[in-house]
Amino acid sequence: MAIQFNFISSMLILLLLTRSFAKAREAGGGGGGSGGGGGGGVIDVVAKFGAKADEKTDLSKPLLDAWKEACASTSPAKIVIPKGTYFLSTATLDGPCKAPIELQVEGTMKAPADPSAFKEPKWIAFNRIENIKLSSGGVFDGQGTTAYKREGCDKHNFCGSLPINLRFDFLTNAMIQGITTKDSKQFHVNVLGCKNITFEHFTVSAPGESPNTDGIHIGRSDGVNVLNTEIKTGDDCVSIGDGSKNLVINGVTCGPGHGISIGSLGLFKNEEPVDGVIVKNCTLTNTSNGVRIKSWPGAEPGTCSNIHFEDITVTNVSSPIIIDQKYCPWNKCKINEESKVKLSNISFKNIHGTSALLEAVKIICSATLPCENVELADIEITHSGPTGPAVSQCSNVKPKVSGKQNPAACSAPVPANPTPTS
């Protein structure tokens, strides 16, 4: 039901936004601008505000001027960034606005290459807006190559201060469609405090060695859909943080990257529950993980429930199915303590393909809060190599098993020091 409800809700959002922007086109006529105090219509940043696609002139002021006009309009408005390559230093597009807005990006926007050009860890931010659509094949190029080579960034010591390509904060009823984010210096997309936001035919592109470049990170949001999306990056393709509920990840192609992950959870105080996540019809290729839930040992309490992974194809994935409640990157944790995050109602169904390592299935749960109601159904994952066939390891969990199980469920012992995951 959750997939059906979220799909219908996202289609309704798209229909409503499309109708609003069709009216805006009728009202605005051509591309010259709305022409008067809050009348809506089409606002061309080049024709009306003098933006230049010369890769030198800052797009920031023309874009913010166009946004100010559109946001004040009492009827739907469309901002158009025509084809071409633009330099954009930074921009924050603030709401609330008086009517729906579409930002139609046809061109490529490039960020400053030098990380020191940013005073805050964001490049482009959308904040407190209702009924917004971002569309039309545009590219947001974070020019992150310099940042990837920064000393210490590979160990995540400095990456947190680097700018995120696209921030979506506290949006309601948003559609992000046909957009590409490229070479972000940190996360490509951060979704925080949003309600009913859909990413469709979205593309993330960054090298496999780019550190801390999660494709789409979701936190404290309700009703997020990631549909028919391609993600190639150096960290999690999709990462789901605390407070996320009613999420659908459907039709995502991931790789390179670290897979589709819930967590890490339990690191900070007062984390909110994760509840209701469906990951379905996804393909992962040459990733370090497949579908994963991860929580820190010996840290803070939390809950994660009603999580379902189904119809997943993995090819040469290092850890195709993994629950890791001993998640401890860079050895910065209390590894001898147990996780305080309670996991329950979790299913892995119809997951098939090949594992790059022996441990095709690894479910390592907390000894003090064992996983409850975990289901493994129709698992077919093979490994071919000199070390032997694929294995399935379980700790502090008694999963319900059905259908074919290759490797045999929970048939291999768990080593005293399990292989750490990235």
DSSP 297: B
Residue environment code for 150-189, b if the CB has 16+ CB neighbours within 10 A, otherwise e: beebbeeebbeebbbbbbbbbbbbbbbbbbbbbbbbbbbb
Q: Which member of 188, 258, 308, 383 is catalytic?
A: 258
> Can you tell me which residue has the tokens 């309009």?
73
Distance CA 267, CA 275 (A): 18
Residue type (1 letter), 358:
L
Cβ atoms of 298 and 327 closer than 8 Å: no
C-alpha distances (whole Å) from 100 to each of 22, 85, 173, 192 are 11, 26, 10, 20
Angstrom distance (rounded) from CA 311 to CA 403:
14
Q: Amino acid letter at 184?
A: S
The residues with which 341 forms a beta bridge, in sequence order, are 302
Q: Looking at this protein, which amino acid is placed at residue 355?
A: S
- Whether 258 is catalytic is yes
Q: How far apart are CA 91 and CA 302, in angstroms?
A: 35
Instruction: Give SS3 for 15.
Output: helix
* CB proximity list for 406: less than 8 A, separation 6 or greater: 379, 380, 381, 382, 390
- Sign, CA torsion 272/273/279/283: positive
Question: Which active-site residues does the annotation give?
Answer: 258
